Amino acid sequence: MQINLQAIVERSDTRAGRTFDIFVQALILISIISFSLETLPNLDAGTRKLLGIIETIIVVIFSVEYLLRIYVADKKLNYIFSFYGIIDLIAIIPFYISSAVDLRSLRVFRMLRLFRIMKLIRYNQAALRFTKALTIAKEEIVLFSVVTIMLLYLSAVGIYYFENTAQPDVFSSVFHSLWWAVATLTTVGYGDIYPITVGGRIFTFLILMIGLGVVAVPAGLLASALSKVRMENQEKENE
Amino acid sequence: MQINLQAIVERSDTRAGRTFDIFVQALILISIISFSLETLPNLDAGTRKLLGIIETIIVVIFSVEYLLRIYVADKKLNYIFSFYGIIDLIAIIPFYISSAVDLRSLRVFRMLRLFRIMKLIRYNQAALRFTKALTIAKEEIVLFSVVTIMLLYLSAVGIYYFENTAQPDVFSSVFHSLWWAVATLTTVGYGDIYPITVGGRIFTFLILMIGLGVVAVPAGLLASALSKVRMENQEKENE
Amino acid sequence: MQINLQAIVERSDTRAGRTFDIFVQALILISIISFSLETLPNLDAGTRKLLGIIETIIVVIFSVEYLLRIYVADKKLNYIFSFYGIIDLIAIIPFYISSAVDLRSLRVFRMLRLFRIMKLIRYNQAALRFTKALTIAKEEIVLFSVVTIMLLYLSAVGIYYFENTAQPDVFSSVFHSLWWAVATLTTVGYGDIYPITVGGRIFTFLILMIGLGVVAVPAGLLASALSKVRMENQEKENE
Amino acid sequence: MQINLQAIVERSDTRAGRTFDIFVQALILISIISFSLETLPNLDAGTRKLLGIIETIIVVIFSVEYLLRIYVADKKLNYIFSFYGIIDLIAIIPFYISSAVDLRSLRVFRMLRLFRIMKLIRYNQAALRFTKALTIAKEEIVLFSVVTIMLLYLSAVGIYYFENTAQPDVFSSVFHSLWWAVATLTTVGYGDIYPITVGGRIFTFLILMIGLGVVAVPAGLLASALSKVRMENQEKENE
């Protein structure tokens, strides 16, 4: 019996284990949708009550699951202080302490378990490759992050000097200009803040010419590192 | 005669077949333009009538073509239930059932036939390479799609907490915040919804720093896989 | 004398030839700036007159240069009907025919001559590699352009169905929706037109998930082809 | 003693040297934050005074550091006219000459020293690779920059012809149109200036189809050159 329970709860290569995994993941999805629906304004009392009941049922099931996982674990403390153990606890504790802050959205981290079922197939390989690729390109990514932050700050100071006198309400400080720098260098460009002086626009052009290269490089590095890792794995398989 | 008809309708490596293909594709283009024109408001009755006549003529020709294709097919059921067979049917059926819902825009799928003529030359190779590249990078693309959806949801929940009290009408629920997350992480940035609190803006910056990398990687992977497939093909040709 | 003139006008590997090239290019730049200044509204009569004089002087010099180039050319007709020959003519003819349409901006094509002086150094190599890279990735780029146009049209038809009833003035036809599709899939997002219905927003999300990959791939392909060409050249040099 | 001081000030591979470096960098960060805070409008007198005191203290320390660096340098003139020597002077001189123009923001360049401490670990390798990658892709990047500027100008002239009559206040000259070209081709799209005529919109579509490829290529080239440099370094290490 003990072995059976362990096989169901911990492993996902048995039929029962896979069913259990899918059941838990379905509950996570329902819980996330229910959490999102609760944020809708003008919900009528009936719906709100229904969502409350769903929430209670889900938390009870998650609590049972948490206790089960402790029960079947060979090294109980190891599970409790593991990444998933902590996530599992965080997912249910807010309900019991009925804290003012709503932590239920953290339940989304339980979605990470979706990757568990993927272990069955080959998706863990993709995740593994991603980690490897990050390791390969780590130094460049750190370098580019530092350069990006310096560039953002310099852009903010520059545009502040150009635009502050023309638009004192919009570019009212370096911090407000930083918001402009973020929206511009990422090319989001909401349009809530933009230069209107000739100097500010030329400055924006120059910053964008440099900035686009800097901001877009990390994604390219990651993609190229990922391709390389995949290629190496294939070479190993061929040998 | 039977053979000739088949050569004209099904194949595109004969002169007559190519002419037939180009004729059908021209009709598809006319049909698409006519469909688009019909959506224009304030069309006068004369133009509307003309477009209706064009539509009738095109559907009649397409119907004849559909019947011809069934007639010349060696295995008639195979054609009827093939991808192109279904598309060919969908392209004419709305006209006959004069359904309330306007399905004529589905005719655009017939444009896929444009690729048939390309088979003549080498463009099918490019399409083939694209399919191969997708197969190579499939796992990473699925992984990144899952991560993107999780990131979008987490961004939406995060910005909801920061902005809901400041802008209850704009960030009125997690679903409204999701729209912000889509517009921001894809860097479209329409400007209809954006954070105004300091916390929300810092959160946007952090999310963009991570998100830009995640969102831009699949395109890089695809491009790199495509280059790899092209290289492999060239090596084969050289051997 | 004949040989000297030819060396000055046609070649750029002599001292005099280089000086002549730089002189012509400087004139092109002045001409472009003067053309741009003329478009400024509220110019006073004095400035306008000065710009007219500058324009006359430049056209006269360019005319002399054009005649010189014909004079020194070994095969005169070859020059006249060459790419640069036609550009040289287009650059001066508008002034003489004082046509209603202002073609002087076409003079910017003369800037292409800037690449001539680069031939001296190694920049022609970069331009050559670019042409080679385009040839390598040609098929994929054509394929992606076709797919992009189909995607734009399908996006436009889709959003038209979702948004037309909610915003009949903004998404008033498939053509107006096409403008939305262009601004959205390129992630420019001016904010003059965007979906407000739930269906339209979900549709936008789905289209962007597919579209970002499609739109960004050609640049990646080009970059990867360019790197490949550079690598091949280096291998040749090493041999 | 002399040697000890030199070890502390100039080198960062000793314990004391590292502590000194971190201390100076912390001061730089404090100075930058203090500078940014000063730009905030509606600061009360107390805070402003406090920031002034912090500023004075920091400049005094930086002055001592500057003199120390001259004192310990083996070749004093070499240091004074070196890149860092000039930066160090620029960082303190504005305070003394209390110039009308506020140059204190230039102090951000001192942040470049942050890279010095990285020399300890392996980050100098990443910076070195970046320089190498820039050298490799230099020609293409210069070519694409020239093409980008030409494309921006041609886009501006084009849109000016299409939109000037429809929106004389927005697209009032080629220079105003240039601002549109920058915001559009970088896909920032603030939404302060966009075409409204059919011709202008079709022109925008065409320009974006070409422009997206051109603008995004340099980042791809840089990423690919960086990957190549990393690969070469690894091969050397393996040998």
Burial (CB count within 10 angstroms: exposed 0-12, middle 13-18, buried 19+), residue D106 = middle
Collect all residues from B whose CB is shorter than 8 A from any CB in D: 187, 189-191, 220, 223
Could B221 and A220 be called an inter-chain contact, meaning their C-beta atoms sit closer than 8 Å?
Answer: no
Cα–Cα distance, D217 to D148 (Å, whole number): 11
Q: List C-alpha distances in Å: C165 to B30, C159, C162, C199.
A: 26, 11, 7, 12
Please report, rounded to a whole number, the percentage of residues in chain B having pLDDT higher than 70.
Answer: 84
Residue D162 DSSP code: H
C234/chain A closest Cα distance in angstroms: 21
Which residue from D minimizes the CA distance to A205? D182
D106/chain B closest Cα distance in angstroms: 24
CA triple A225-D222-D239, angle to 5 deg? 55
**pLDDT tens-place string over residues A185-224:** 988 888 889 999 999 999 999 999 888 877 778 888 888 7
Average pLDDT over residues B170-187: 91
Cα–Cα distance, A15 to A191 (Å, whole number): 53
Which of C42, C116, C179, C185 to mutate to test binding with chain D, by most D CBs within 10 Å of its CB? C179
Which of A115, A188, A208, A222 to mutate to test binding with chain B, by most B CBs within 10 Å of its CB? A188
pLDDT band for C180, please (50, 70, 90 cuts): very high
pLDDT band for D125, please (50, 70, 90 cuts): low
Q: How much of chain D is in helix, strand and coil states, percent to nearest 5? A: 80, 0, 20
Chain B residue numbers with beta carbons less than 8 Å from the beta carbon of C189 are 183, 187-191
Which residue from B minimizes the CA distance to C169? B41
Cα–Cα distance, A164 to D38 (Å, whole number): 13
Look at residue B52 in the predicted model and tell me its pLDDT.
Answer: 83
Cα–Cα distance, D5 to D11 (Å, whole number): 10
Look at residue A108 in the predicted model and tell me its pLDDT.
Answer: 53
**pLDDT tens-place string over residues C221-232:** 888 788 778 777
DSSP for D151-208, written as a single string: HHHHHHHHHHHHHTTT-TTTS-SHHHHHHHHHHHHTT---SSS---SHHHHHHHHHHH
A163/chain D closest Cα distance in angstroms: 13
Could A222 and B217 be called an inter-chain contact, meaning their C-beta atoms sit closer than 8 Å?
Answer: yes
Of D206, B183, D154, C203, nearest in space to A187 by CA: B183
Find out whether A34 and A43 touch, Cβ atoms under 8 Å: no
In sign, the C-alpha dihedral spanning D124, D125, D129, D135 is: positive
Look at residue A118 in the predicted model and tell me its pLDDT.
Answer: 46
Look at residue B132 in the predicted model and tell me its pLDDT.
Answer: 82
Which residue from B minimizes the CA distance to D186? B187
Q: Which residues, 6+ apart, have CB-to-CB distance to A136 below 8 Å?
A: A225, A228, A229, D230
pTM: 0.84
Q: Which residues, 6+ apart, have CB-to-CB distance to C49 below 8 Å?
A: none
Q: Which residues, 6+ apart, have CB-to-CB distance to C184 below 8 Å?
A: B188, C155, C194, C204, C207, C208, C211
pLDDT band for C201, please (50, 70, 90 cuts): very high
Which residue from D minimizes the CA distance to A187? D188
**Does residue C238 have a pLDDT over 80?**
no
Look at residue C230 in the predicted model and tell me its pLDDT.
Answer: 77
Look at residue A100 in the predicted model and tell me its pLDDT.
Answer: 46
Greater pLDDT, C98 or B43 = B43
Residue A94, both tokens: 């807010």
Q: Which subunits sit against C, judged by 3+ Cβ pairs under 8 A?
A: A, B, D
Cα–Cα distance, C186 to C207 (Å, whole number): 12
Could B187 and D191 be called an inter-chain contact, meaning their C-beta atoms sit closer than 8 Å?
Answer: no
Question: Which of D157, D175, D204 is the closest to C105 by Cβ?
Answer: D157
Cα–Cα distance, A194 to A170 (Å, whole number): 9
A to C CB pairs, distance under 8 Å: 8
Cα–Cα distance, D173 to D153 (Å, whole number): 12
Look at residue D101 in the predicted model and tell me its pLDDT.
Answer: 52
Which residue from C minimizes the CA distance to B42? C172
Average pLDDT over residues B36-49: 85
Please report, rounded to a whole number, the percentage of residues in chain B having pLDDT higher than 90.
Answer: 13
Average pLDDT over residues B141-145: 80
Chain D residue numbers with beta carbons less than 8 Å from the beta carbon of C39 are 160, 164, 173-175
Cα–Cα distance, B182 to C180 (Å, whole number): 16
**pLDDT tens-place string over residues C4-29:** 777 777 766 677 777 887 788 788 77
**pLDDT tens-place string over residues B79-89:** 888 877 777 78
Could C224 and B222 be called an inter-chain contact, meaning their C-beta atoms sit closer than 8 Å?
Answer: no
A227/chain B closest Cα distance in angstroms: 7
Of A118, B148, B130, nearest in space to C206 by CA: B148
D190/chain B closest Cα distance in angstroms: 8
A113/chain D closest Cα distance in angstroms: 33
Which residue from B minimizes the CA distance to A142? B209
Average pLDDT over residues A56-61: 87
pLDDT band for C123, please (50, 70, 90 cuts): very low
Chain D residue numbers with beta carbons less than 8 Å from the beta carbon of A226 are none
Q: Which subunits sit against A, judged by 3+ Cβ pairs under 8 A?
A: B, C, D
Of B233, B239, B216, nearest in space to B132 by CA: B233
**Does residue D48 have a pLDDT over 50?**
yes
